[in-house]
């Protein structure tokens, strides 16, 4: 698949989701106990990559709760992410537009999370300018938010230290594998091969640039955004949150926006206030780190329960690399 053919993401719902009846009986009983009443109906989530159970449950007393239930059987990383989401929820102040965590439970095998229900919709795709502007404003507002005292959120530069090494890892690949990557990326692959040494240098600067004091979601895409009837933006799924530069979420999100019909990332990045003061050199460094992460990750075997993740990462890698090339 050439770079010019990458115009759409793989299906957003790519994880192997469980239904209510797929959950073990003791897990269903524990959820009902935590919810405070028996479950009478479920509406499964239709977006996202995480395997496991994710659904809005209607409780017998008329209330609703959005429940996630994961174990290592679906994916060995999923319980760790769920535990991280519990820690992040304890660090988010009330002004952050995130659904409130109502309860959680962890028996060492199954991790259960219960969130307040947000009634809204995902952004309409292709992206509408009004939706994109609203999301940009919500992301920009995070720059002025401090986590609650005593939080244990990691620094973004520490969290990405292993991820932002993709171009260095690709230098260690055998020649046929490298040429295969180049061929799949078309003209962008040829450009990346010709500029590999520069990409490594930019990538090595990325962690320094990521440092900062702002709250960073770290994984924003259309499927991690909801817009309610008042056009308020909600940012969901927070296990990758960290503390770093205030513009990172906007930069990290725009490759997927470009792939989903939202327009040129060069223009979109600079038109919003969160980009003020960000130099092209710093932006290049972060984009090099991000592109290397996506491309290198796309070469790995699919993780259990998430068969389409590598296609998604390959598409985002090409989109990020195109943005990077356009800056040079």
CATH number for the domain harbouring residue 100 = 3.30.200.20
Residue at which a domain ends, from 119, 143, 170: 119
* Count of CB atoms situated within 10 Å of the CB of 23: 20
Report cis status (omega within 30 of 0) of the bond before 300. Answer: no
Q: How many CB atoms lie within 10 A of CB 133?
A: 15
Cβ contacts of residue 303 below 8 Å, gap of 6+?
Answer: 75, 77, 309
Domain of residue 26: give its range: 17-119
CATH code (residue 172): 3.90.1200.10
Q: Is 168 helix (H, G, I), strand (E, B) or coil?
A: helix
pLDDT tens readout for residues 197-230? 999 999 999 999 999 999 999 999 999 999 999 9
Lateral strand order in the sheet of 233-235:
120-121, 225-228, 233-235
Q: Residues 76, 100: one domain?
A: yes
Query: Domain total for the chain?
Result: 2
Q: Whole-model pTM? A: 0.91
Rounded Cα distance, 137 and 197, in Å: 36
In this prediction, residue 289 carries a pLDDT of 98
Strand runs labelled E in the chain: 17-18, 39-44, 52-59, 64-70, 101-106, 111-115, 120-121, 214-216, 225-228, 233-235, 242-244
Same domain? For 92 and 210 the reply is: no
Span 224-261, pLDDT tens digits: 999 999 999 999 999 999 999 999 999 999 999 999 99
CA-CA distance, 321 to 288, in Å (whole number)?
A: 7
Sole residue written with tokens 């895409």: 221
Pair 155, 291 in one domain: yes
- Please indicate, yes or no, whether residues 130 and 239 belong to a single structural domain of this protein: yes
Q: pLDDT at residue 50 above 80? A: no
Residue 43 included in any domain = yes
């Amino acid at each position: 698949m050439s770079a010019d053919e990458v115009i759409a993401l793989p299906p957003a719902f790519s994880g192997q989701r469980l239904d209510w009846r797929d959950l073990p009986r003791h897990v269903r009983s524990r959820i009902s106990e935590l919810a405070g009443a028996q479950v009478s109906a479920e509406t499964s989530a239709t977006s996202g990559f995480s395997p496991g159970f994710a659904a809005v449950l209607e409780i017998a007393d008329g209330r609703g709760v959005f429940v996630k239930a994961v174990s290592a059987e679906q994916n060995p990383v999923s319980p760790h992410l769920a535990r991280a989401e519990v820690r992040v929820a304890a660090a988010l102040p009330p002004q952050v537009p995130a659904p409130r965590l109502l309860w959680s439970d962890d028996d060492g095998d199954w991790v259960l999370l219960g969130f307040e229900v947000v009634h809204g919709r995902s952004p309409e795709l292709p992206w509408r300018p009004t939706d994109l502007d609203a999301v940009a404003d919500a992301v920009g507002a995070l720059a002025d938010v401090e986590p609650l005292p005593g939080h244990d959120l990691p620094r973004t530069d520490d969290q990405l230290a292993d991820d932002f090494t993709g171009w260095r890892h690709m230098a260690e690949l055998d020649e046929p594998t490298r040429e295969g990557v180049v061929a799949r990326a078309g003209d962008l692959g040829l450009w990346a091969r010709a500029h590999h040494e520069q990409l490594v240098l930019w990538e090595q600067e990325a962690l320094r640039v990521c440092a900062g004091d702002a709250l960073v979601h770290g994984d924003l895409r259309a499927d991690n955004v909801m817009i309610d009837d008042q056009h308020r933006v909600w940012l969901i799924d927070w296990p990758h949150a960290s503390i770093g530069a205030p513009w990172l979420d906007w930069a990290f999100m725009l490759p997927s926006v470009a792939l989903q019909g939202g327009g040129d990332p060069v223009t979109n990045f600079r038109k919003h206030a969160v980009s003020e003061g960000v130099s092209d050199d710093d932006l290049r460094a972060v984009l090099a780190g991000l592109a290397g992460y996506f491309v290198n990750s796309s070469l790995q075997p699919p993780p259990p329960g998430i068969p389409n993740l590598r296609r998604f990462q390959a598409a985002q890698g090409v989109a990020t690399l195109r943005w990077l090339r356009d800056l040079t």
